[in-house]
Structure 1
């Protein structure tokens, strides 16, 4: 082929040979021969179950794009993720109209991956919060007794009678099916004027530990999480981290369907997931509730990408 000067293939990005981008360590999973022994991205692009307008089904794509654009080097503690390989398993194919069928597909897809790859560290890209029910069901099937640390402005224990399975019901479903025990669920960042007294009472009756935003403001979040981990350390085999991005203040996460003031600061969330990533019992994380159609310059997807990178950085240091 003739080599023309100063021409390159269309769409080829600028390459600085001194910088490794995260896109370079994300590799498409080999479904036929490859074994996933480390972190693996998997998308659950469901948003039809949202009780409000939501384009969360587009979020796996925008989070991947955001991830790929950052460098692998963390200057604050001189850590480089370039030695990692992150597998990308793709996205679960959703049913066009049937929410329960879509949830069943999420469960079956995740279940199959766990069977084939018991050491898989899932990095789940939602989708709305309804995907938490089947994803944690599959996690619990393969990990034994499971604890969940949920970052969220909402309890997400709405009743199932008024609207069926929605993005407001995943933890109600997990508790009612006894997938998890209430005493092994910790909710962080629950916010004023975002819930009801009845749902608080339901969560407390089930033994759920609730840390409101006032608790987060009054005490370092890592202190709360130390309490949370110790609370369940002897009772569970593995811990799953669920991050609903609306836990973050609306000024820093404008692309959430249920934005609101008074939420967590992004840096506090980074500290939180770093603390949890360094905990050996933590075996998976999900990021949900981003609507790229209402976001500004993908700010919320970029924030979600940082949440994942901070988590992976801590996991890499834990596994040294």
Structure 2
């Protein structure tokens, strides 16, 4: 794929009976074999700074990889998980110009190629401007999709002085000229961090939302199926998690979701056949503590991959 930088990640030296995920992601696929999933880094946080947030999310893709590569394949249902990892390719990071719209369009090109080939893109952000670039993949491929966002914020703000940012991706998607965004679904929203007008926008556009105290596995599962689209684009913003468990984010949350709920939601997203793509955004290594948030982010990807390996 063009405009991608292959990244280098150190993989621990272990014995043959104690392999790590990085050992398999580093191996090349057989010639002409399509991967089942592709990992793409989007190391940009320009949209966060435009939105008034703290910088640092641009460092996340590499930091998440470092933690993911050290993890072991699932010991239960081992063969199915290992088969998926062997069929997953890490294509590296997008070359970022720090021009938000240009970078989003470049990400869209990469995602579109994956979708057209039936490959599941897994995108490591970056600020949540990642999500609009992610959506542009559907627009460029001419594929309609519903969008599910697990987040403390609605991220349906208008542009700022004509500029896209980390708080605007889902308004941009819903109003995009392609009409490829069929429905917007959001969960984990913090009542003290969303405005009434933004909730009204979601409802008036035909979407649905869950506030933080309404967000549980049953309600998330319900939202996953509360659409008539053939596809579901899924985006997880790490600031939905309680800051005691995810301190290294762009906007820490004092009353966020517990990590076990977050991880189970990632697993369910992976297992859901309607989910055709996934991104994880707003991890901020500059403000992390002992890589606590990066480890949780990597475990989120691990759980999504686990679910993906169990699709029937």
Verify: 1:39 aligned to 2:28, yes or no. Answer: no
SS at match of 1:148: strand
Contact residue 140 and residue 146 of structure 1 kept, 8 A? no
Contact residue 28 and residue 88 of structure 1 kept, 8 A? no
In the aligned structure 2, how far is the partner of 1:141 from the partner of 1:12? 35
Corresponding residue number in structure 2 for 1:123: 122
Contact residue 43 and residue 92 of structure 1 kept, 8 A? yes
Corresponding residue number in structure 1 for 2:145: 146
Verify: 1:227 aligned to 2:222, yes or no. Answer: yes
Q: What count of residue pairs does the alignment treat as equivalent?
A: 296
Q: Deviation at 1:271?
A: 1.4
In the aligned structure 2, how far is the partner of 1:205 from the partner of 1:171? 14
Contact residue 11 and residue 23 of structure 2 kept, 8 A? no
- The TM-score with structure 1 as length reference comes to 0.86
Corresponding residue number in structure 2 for 1:89: 91
Corresponding residue number in structure 2 for 1:7: none
In the aligned structure 1, how far is the partner of 2:43 from the partner of 2:261? 27
Q: Deviation at 1:37?
A: 3.1
Gaps of 5+ in 1: 1-10
Contact residue 144 and residue 237 of structure 1 kept, 8 A? no
Residues 109 and 230 (structure 1), Cα distance of their counterparts in 2 relative to 1, 3 Å cut: closer
SS at match of 2:164: coil
Corresponding residue number in structure 2 for 1:109: 110
Contact residue 152 and residue 187 of structure 1 kept, 8 A? yes
Corresponding residue number in structure 1 for 2:46: 48
Root mean square deviation, CA, Å? 2.2
In the aligned structure 1, how far is the partner of 2:225 from the partner of 2:257? 23
Q: Deviation at 1:139?
A: 2.9
Residues 122 and 143 (structure 1), Cα distance of their counterparts in 2 relative to 1, 3 Å cut: farther
Contact residue 72 and residue 80 of structure 1 kept, 8 A? no
Residues 282 and 12 (structure 1), Cα distance of their counterparts in 2 relative to 1, 3 Å cut: closer
In the aligned structure 2, how far is the partner of 1:278 from the partner of 1:301? 23
SS at match of 1:188: strand
Q: Deviation at 1:45?
A: 0.9
Q: Deviation at 1:253?
A: 0.6
- The TM-score with structure 2 as length reference comes to 0.88
Gaps of 5+ in 2: 1-9
SS at match of 1:164: coil
Per-residue deviation, residues 250-280 of structure 1 (Å, max 9, x unmatched): 1111110100111111101111122222211
Contact residue 152 and residue 188 of structure 1 kept, 8 A? yes
Residues 110 and 305 (structure 1), Cα distance of their counterparts in 2 relative to 1, 3 Å cut: same
Contact residue 143 and residue 238 of structure 1 kept, 8 A? no
Larger radius of gyration: 1
Verify: 1:171 aligned to 2:173, yes or no. Answer: no
Corresponding residue number in structure 1 for 2:7: none
Alignment of 1:1-320 (within 5 A): 13-27=12-26, 34-50=32-48, 51=51, 52-74=53-75, 81-84=81-84, 85=86, 86-96=88-98, 98-115=99-116, 118-142=117-141, 144-162=143-161, 164-177=163-176, 178-181=179-182, 184-216=183-215, 221-232=216-227, 235-319=228-312
Residues 28 and 44 (structure 1), Cα distance of their counterparts in 2 relative to 1, 3 Å cut: farther
SS at match of 1:49: helix
Per-residue deviation, residues 56-88 of structure 1 (Å, max 9, x unmatched): 11111001101011111245x777622332201
Contact residue 11 and residue 69 of structure 2 kept, 8 A? no
Contact residue 155 and residue 170 of structure 2 kept, 8 A? yes
SS at match of 1:193: helix
In the aligned structure 2, how far is the partner of 1:163 from the partner of 1:197? 23
Contact residue 115 and residue 276 of structure 2 kept, 8 A? no
SS at match of 1:318: coil
Q: Deviation at 1:34?
A: 4.4
